[in-house]
Amino acid sequence: TSITSSKIQVNGVHLHYQQTGEGSHAVLLLPGMLGSGQTDFGPQLKSMNKQLFTVVAWDPRGYGKSIPPSRDFPPDFFERDAKDAVDLMQALKFKKFSLLGWSDGGITALIAAARYPNLIHKLVVWGANASVTQEDVRIYNGIRDVSKWSEKVKKPLEELYGHKYFAETCEAWVDGISRFAENADGNICQQLLPDIKCPTFIIHGEKDPLVPQAHAEYIHKHIKGSRLLLMPEGKHNLHLRFANDFNREVENFLR
């Protein structure tokens, strides 16, 4: 089945999304920082079971092809993304759907699942965190300067955004997410985790250099009945690097 691209107006912005498959189970893929469906979910859009699933990958406002507006990071940017994501799926006429969230998209998915329990069927998150520690802030500052990124990671984003927007948005992201460290316990959405009632699957790469494993364990501990899978060789992008294993585990969970 082909992958279609389109835009739809949601909450005053034109959100870009890709869609494939004709299954009865709708799934929304939520990308990470600076991410888009195209850069973050190639193997999922291409290979997830198109008979079982209708797969939608969105570009959050200010990312990918959902520009304008330019991306900004007000204190509630995760909440805003969660509302945009859910409203996008409703605008596309999906009554109930599952969320697959990576990194920032995982945080967004946690918030959406807690806030809209009647709409979310199942939840999968990987590389996500519910709080920001001082150690996390140190890690984020380590990726602030995009000129130090590996060519492989940098190139698709520079092609998508141009160097200036890419570099400035990354710096703004580091400032935006680091602000959560000033909250009590560095809280982003810890208080919402007990409100997540849908079946939840947390995946974590044991070699993730960006998100320490304690974050995955915290989320697992505070979402009742959730399942945690640790991938010994997995890094932050385990769904790209080990796409076949990842897709198989996730499809089995979603069935």
Cis amide leading into 199 (omega within 30): no
Which candidate, 80, 31, 78, places its Cα nearest to that of 59?
31
Buried b / exposed e along 56-68 (16+ C-beta atoms within 10 A): bbbbbbbbbbbbe
CB 101, CB 122: distance < 8 Å: no
Print the SS3 string covering 49-88.
CCCCEEEEEEECCCCCCCCCCCCCCCCCHHHHHHHHHHHH
Q: What one-letter code names the amino acid at 236?
A: H
Catalytic pick among 40, 81, 136, 208:
208
Query: What is d(CA 243, CA 123) in angstroms, rounded to the nearest whole number?
Result: 18
Cβ atoms within 10 Å of 166's Cβ, excluding its own? 18
Catalytic pick among 36, 98, 103, 131:
103
Joined together, the tokens standing for residue 97 give: 């759907």
Task: State residue 54 phi and psi, 5-degree precision.
Answer: -105, 115
Active site residue 208: yes
Which are the catalytic amino acids? 103, 208, 236
